[in-house]
């Protein structure tokens, strides 16, 4: 190893290295907290002053990170945040954890990564380690990031070190977190890999070194494309079962008893989150640049993308059984976060379903205990809301007012027995309500022949079934 790498490695092992994290979202803040907890002097950098102010006040805005932990680390002087990239000048390492969305054309939008790298490049110095964590296409680290960092004369692998390590965050997972999920690391050379591995190894239980950044970049895309393709299969089986009168949920649960050769995936209203709906398109885009047509991946994307339309068709069926049309009906959406028990709205299929319903003339309301307010800024590609939508109180009276209730996110806090009892009609896309009920249409399951009688609300605002 070179003198520069030996010096940095010694600083990492002795916890004398000053480390930084650019992007303090669902990936960056947990990483910054783990690095600070491991004993490093840690600086978070974000262009949003609301985030940096919150961190400096000892407050967390990420459900998986406790405010008490942030407050303790800030008080101990091991964690701070700033919007000023000049802080990079005093850092020994910096991790880039910024968003990598898709453009409307399904091409990679590298603007956030470009802005972060440009901010770092202005203060890049000899002996520094830069690690990209943002999910992206194979080749990004060496073809996109490396030239930007080298533009002012410093050479990667000689004057500074560069690696890629894909984030593996699963918001709301009570078992796996930043600390105990194995970390894949691929540097542009052995020294970069070793330094990045040492940095992560100080705070994370297991490090998995690979031979190059391209391998590490492909690992992340394989992981999420694997999930997207198998969810696409589950969704297609659900639509098939719906047509054939077979309960897909019973089928999957029975198949899952096989102790080998099968892994259960479940259908739903569509893909959500920052990774699974997006990563396959990064891989598909890069494959096409190489002259390869990823037909299997794109077919899964088409199936998953069609699920919100299929759900709206189910809602129309539920309303038809009441001799009502979608146009003019009141539809209550239960859950707008992309997965249960979190407040993350990124790529949520609930928003797609709500948009389609509004386009068809439905009066759409929502109830989500984790998302009290929904604004146009949260709703990319959706309607231009004149004023923010507010979450409805989840009571029997509220449910009884709706012509149809659609369960799109199955938060555990919801009393689904109460929902089933009070609602006129329910479309359940998550199998949240077990068993067969006359007023429940489940995704991919046989439908009842009739819905229960309408529910009225008396003066005490309690729901009662009219016999």
Kindly report the CA angle at 184 between 182 and 185, in degrees rounded to 5?
140
Whole-Å CA distances, 136 to 113, 185, 203, 283, 345: 10, 14, 24, 8, 20
Please, is 147 exposed, middle or buried when counting C-beta atoms within 10 Å of its C-beta (0-12, 13-18, 19+)? exposed
Helices (H) and strands (E) in the chain, counts: 15, 17
- Joined together, the tokens standing for residue 336 give 């707008």
Query: Is 275 an annotated catalytic residue?
Result: yes
Q: Which of 18, 97, 241, 275 is catalytic?
A: 275
DSSP state of 377: G
Tokens of 314: 């189910």
Instruction: Report the C-alpha gap between 93 and 196 in whole angstroms.
Output: 9
Give whole-number Cα distances, 423 to 56, 116, 336, 399, 416, in Å. 46, 49, 19, 6, 10
- Answer for the pair 130, 45: CB distance below 8 angstroms, yes or no: no
| Cα distance between residue 98 and residue 78, in whole Å | 22
DSSP string, 168-186: ---TT-SS--TTTS-EEEE
> Tokens at residue 9, please?
């490695």
Neighbours of 394 (CB within 10 A): 18
Q: How many residues are present in the chain? A: 467
CA 401 – CA 104 distance, rounded (Å): 37
Q: How is 378-430 classified by DSSP, letter by letter?
A: GSTTS---SS-EEPPP-SHHHHHH-SEEEE-S--TTS-HHHHHHH-S-EEESS
Tokens of 349: 């299929």
Long-range pairs for 239-246: beta carbons < 8 A, 24 or more residues apart: 239/310, 239/444, 241/444, 241/445, 242/443, 242/444, 242/445, 245/446, 246/445, 246/446
Judged on CB neighbours under 10 Å (0-12, 13-18, 19+), 148 is middle
Please give the Cα distance from 404 to 314 (Å, whole number). Answer: 11
Beta 129-132 vs 363-367: how paired, if at all? unpaired
Residues belonging to the active site: 275
């Amino acid at each position: 190893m070179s003198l520069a790498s030996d010096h940095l490695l010694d600083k990492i092992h002795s916890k004398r290295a000053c480390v930084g994290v650019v992007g303090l979202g669902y990936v960056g803040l947990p990483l910054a907290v783990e690095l600070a907890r491991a004993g490093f002097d840690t600086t978070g950098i974000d262009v949003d002053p609301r985030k940096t102010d919150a961190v400096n006040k000892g407050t967390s805005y990420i459900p998986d990170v406790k405010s008490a932990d942030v407050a303790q680390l800030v008080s101990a002087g091991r964690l701070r945040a700033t919007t000023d990239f000049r802080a990079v000048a005093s850092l020994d390492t910096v991790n880039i954890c910024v968003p990598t969305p898709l453009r409307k054309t399904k091409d990679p939008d590298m603007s956030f990564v470009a802005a972060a790298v440009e901010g770092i490049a202005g203060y890049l110095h000899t002996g520094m380690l830069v690690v990209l964590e943002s999910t992206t296409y194979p080749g990004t680290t060496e073809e996109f990031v490396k030239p930007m960092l080298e533009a002012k004369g410093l050479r990667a692998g000689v004057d500074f070190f560069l690696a890629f390590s894909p984030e593996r965050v699963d918001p709301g997972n009570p078992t796996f977190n930043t600390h105990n999920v194995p970390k894949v690391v691929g540097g542009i050379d052995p020294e970069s890999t070793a330094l990045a591995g040492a940095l992560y190894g100080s705070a994370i239980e297991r490090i998995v070194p690979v031979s190059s950044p391209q391998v590490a970049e492909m690992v992340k895309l394989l992981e999420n494309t694997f999930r997207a393709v198998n969810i696409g299969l589950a969704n297609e089986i659900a639509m098939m079962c719906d047509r054939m009168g077979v309960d897909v949920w019973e089928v999957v649960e029975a198949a899952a008893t096989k102790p080998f050769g099968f892994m259960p995936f479940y259908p739903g209203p569509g893909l959500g989150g920052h990774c699974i709906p997006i990563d396959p398109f990064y891989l598909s885009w890069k494959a096409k640049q190489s002259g390869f047509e990823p037909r299997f991946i794109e077919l899964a994307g088409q199936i998953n993308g069609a699920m919100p339309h299929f759900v709206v068709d189910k809602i129309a069926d539920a309303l038809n059984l009441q001799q009502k049309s979608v146009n003019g009906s009141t539809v209550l959406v239960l859950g707008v976060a992309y997965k249960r028990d979190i407040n993350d709205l990124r790529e949520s299929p609930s928003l797609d379903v709500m948009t389609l319903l509004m386009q068809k003339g439905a009066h759409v309301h929502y109830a989500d205990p984790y998302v009290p307010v929904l604004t146009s800024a949260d709703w990319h590609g959706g309607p231009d809301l004149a004023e923010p939508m507010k979450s409805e109180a989840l009571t029997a009276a509220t449910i009884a007012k709706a012509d149809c209730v659609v369960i799109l996110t199955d938060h555990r806090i919801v009393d689904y027995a109460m929902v089933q009892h009070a609602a006129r009609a329910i479309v359940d896309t998550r199998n949240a309500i077990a068993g067969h009920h006359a007023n429940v249409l489940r995704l991919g399951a046989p439908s009842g022949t009739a819905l229960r009688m309408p529910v009225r609300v008396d003066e005490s605002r309690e729901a009662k079934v009219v016999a």
